[in-house]
């Protein structure tokens, strides 16, 4: 619409507010909106085809059914009602319904691209409110005046003079290009996850690098589109460098360490690792921290810098099999061969214990109270935990020792009184 047409439309709406036709226009618009809502409910409850493509198209259709049906009904009702009443409100409803349809289509595409993004709900509301405010200013003819006010607020950054309108244009351009970059990076990530024969860590690295590069490219493209010279951002780049050198040093170190971990494949998803007092399965590797989940369900967030600078025990780095040692002490008068055979048999009876290498018992040494033995056996699934397995093996050994008469010694103290007692 031209400025003259918008002014004429707005004058017509204001004139209709003083006419009795306003009630009939509101009733006709309400009827159109009600019919559109009923049509939306019919589309939502109807099953159209099957499969992923049908599901995506059906989801998009659900989002835009109401504004499109309302738009069509208003377009049909306007020439019919024009024969009896004024229809300025109908003309006002058309751009509002069109903007609603555009908003819903855009955000449906974003929801498909960022399925796990919880910020989209709040962002959609703010974006819809902003778009409708712009449409309202455009319809009322106040938008040029608002732009003039924003352009009157000027300031200088470096050698370039900027206005508040330029800054808002730059923010909008960057927002659009960044959203396009995020959508494109999401599509690249989906393709990478679908690629066969590609290492998981390499997938993560490529996805994150592509996202970072696309966002940087989006900013570099978006700002010059509205006439903002990128050299004016050099002062902010210097301040950011100083911040990284001092306050953000640890954060930057964690991010660099995260990329190193993902690239060298030293730690992978599913590995059982021990870092200091934390032991668990690696469930997630981000650019800042690594998540370890122990058997009790507690998740530890370990900074990536710690994984690079300290010793990490990886129980499944090259081979998932681990050896478990169970110490047992028997008395000196016990039959060692039989005790060792019972211990090996107790391990072989457990389903998780590997037959190759075979379980075996060793004589470690001769202690004060008895002979120290150790039962060693291998398991291929340490992520399932070893405490329960060790408990089952100890219980089986205790039962067999009790039946075989093999004693497990415990510390004893003898107190001897030397010399006779003195009597008065």
CATH number of the domain encompassing residue 397: 3.30.70.100
Helix, strand or coil for residue 273? strand
| Chain segment 182-196, per-residue pLDDT in tens | 778 777 777 777 766
Q: Is residue 421 predicted with pLDDT exceeding 60?
A: no
Name the pLDDT band for 51 (thresholds 50, 70, 90): very low
**How far apart (Å, rounded) are the C-alpha atoms in residues 282 and 262?**
13
In whole angstroms, what is the distance from residue 12 CA to residue 93 CA? 13
Check whether residue 131 and residue 172 sit in a common domain.
no
pLDDT at 404 over 50: yes
If asked whether residues 185 and 294 sit together in one domain, one would say: no
Each residue's pLDDT tens digit, 298-310: 888 888 888 888 8
The CATH number of whichever domain residue 302 belongs to comes to 2.30.30.60
Which residues are CB-neighbours of 28 under 8 A, at least 6 positions away?
77, 81, 85, 90
Judge whether 350 and 390 are in contact, CB under 8 Å: no
Q: Is residue 91 part of a domain?
A: yes
Question: Does residue 373 register a pLDDT over 90?
Answer: yes
- Residue at 421 is within a domain: no
State the Cα angle at 273 between 268 and 279, rounded to 5°: 135
Nearest CA among 334, 322, 335, 336 for reference residue 376: 322
Query: Who's near 2: CB < 8 A, 6+ residues apart?
Result: none
Burial of 65 per CB tally in 10 Å (0-12, 13-18, 19+): buried
| 217 and 294 together in one domain | no
Residue with tokens 């954060």: 251
Q: Specify the number of domains making up the chain.
A: 4
Distances (CA, A) of 8 to 2, 74, 339, 377, 406: 10, 19, 103, 89, 105
- What value does the mean pLDDT take over residues 35-60? 60
User: Which of 197, 214, 244 is the last residue in one of the domains?
Assistant: 244
CA distance 281 to 271: 6
**Domain stop point among 296, 314, 332:** 314
- Compute the chain's Rg from CA coordinates: 37
Question: What percent of the chain has pLDDT above 90?
Answer: 11
Within this chain, do residues 128 and 230 fall inside the same structural domain, yes or no?
no
If DSSP states are collapsed to H, E and C, what string results for 348-405?
A: HCCCCECCCCCCEEEEEEECCCCEEEEEEEEECCHHHCCHHHHHHHHHHHHHHHHHHC
Does any domain span residue 107? yes
276 located within any domain: yes
**Separation between Cα atoms, residue 423 and residue 291, nearest integer Å:** 73
Mean pLDDT computed over 80-94 = 73
Residue 14 sits in the same domain as residue 117:
yes
| Residue span of the structural domain in which 372 resides | 322-404
3-state helix, strand, coil in the chain (%, to 5): 60, 15, 25
Are 305 and 210 part of one and the same domain? no
Question: Is there a single domain that holds both residue 240 and residue 192?
Answer: yes
Q: Is residue 198 a contact partner of residue 242, using CB atoms and an 8 Å limit?
A: no
Please give the residue that has the higher pLDDT: either 48 or 206.
206
Q: Return mean pLDDT, the chain.
A: 76
Residue 16: CB atoms within 10 A of its CB come to 19
Query: Is 117 in the same domain as 159?
Result: no
Judge if the upstream peptide bond of residue 357 is cis by omega within 30 degrees of 0: yes
Q: In this structure, are 299 and 364 located in the same domain?
A: no
Q: Is 323 helix (H, G, I), strand (E, B) or coil?
A: strand
pTM exceeding the 0.85 threshold for the entire prediction: no
Q: Is residue 413 part of a domain?
A: no
Residues 137 and 205 in one domain: no
């Amino acid at each position: 619409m031209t400025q003259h047409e918008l002014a004429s439309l707005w004058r017509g709406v204001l004139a209709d507010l003083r006419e009795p036709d306003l009630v009939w226009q509101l009733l006709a618009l309400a009827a159109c909106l009600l019919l559109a809502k009923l049509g939306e409910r019919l589309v939502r409850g109807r099953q159209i085809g099957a499969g992923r493509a049908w599901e995506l198209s059906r989801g998009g259709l659900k989002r835009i059914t109401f504004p499109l049906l309302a738009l069509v009904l208003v377009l049909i009702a306007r020439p019919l009602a024009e024969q009896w009443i004024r229809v300025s409100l109908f003309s006002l409803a058309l751009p509002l319904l069109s903007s609603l349809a555009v908003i819903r289509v855009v955000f449906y595409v974003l929801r498909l691209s960022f399925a796990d993004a919880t910020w989209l709900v709040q962002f959609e509301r703010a974006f819809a409110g902003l778009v409708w405010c712009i449409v309202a200013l455009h319809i009322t003819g106040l938008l040029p005046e608002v732009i003039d006010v924003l352009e009157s607020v000027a300031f200088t950054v470096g050698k370039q003079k900027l206005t508040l309108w330029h800054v808002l244009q730059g923010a909008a351009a960057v927002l659009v290009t960044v959203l396009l970059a995020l959508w494109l990076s999401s599509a690249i990530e989906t393709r990478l996850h679908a690629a066969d024969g590609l290492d998981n860590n390499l997938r993560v690295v490529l996805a994150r690098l592509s996202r970072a590069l696309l966002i940087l490219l989006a900013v570099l493209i978006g700002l010059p589109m509205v006439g903002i010279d990128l050299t004016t951002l050099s002062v902010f780049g210097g301040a950011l460098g100083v911040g990284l050198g001092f306050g953000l040093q640890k954060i930057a170190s964690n991010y660099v360490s995260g990329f190193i971990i993902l690239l060298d494949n030293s730690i992978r998803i599913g590995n059982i690792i021990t870092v200091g007092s934390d032991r668990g399965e690696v469930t997630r590797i981000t650019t800042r921290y690594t998540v370890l989940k122990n058997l009790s369900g507690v998740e530890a967030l370990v900074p990536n810098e710690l994984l690079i600078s300290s010793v990490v025990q990886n129980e499944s780095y090259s081979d998932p099999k681990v050896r478990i040692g169970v110490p047992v002490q028997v008395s000196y008068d016990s039959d060692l061969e039989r005790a060792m055979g019972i211990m090996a048999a107790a391990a072989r009876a457990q389903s998780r214990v590997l037959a190759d290498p075979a379980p075996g018992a060793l004589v470690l040494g001769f202690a004060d109270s008895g002979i120290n033995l150790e039962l060693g056996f291998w398991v291929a699934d340490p992520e399932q935990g070893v405490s329960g397995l060790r408990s089952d093996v100890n219980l089986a050994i205790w039962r067999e020792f009790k039946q075989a008469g093999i004693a497990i010694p415990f510390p004893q103290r003898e107190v001897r009184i030397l010399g006779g007692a003195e009597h008065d």
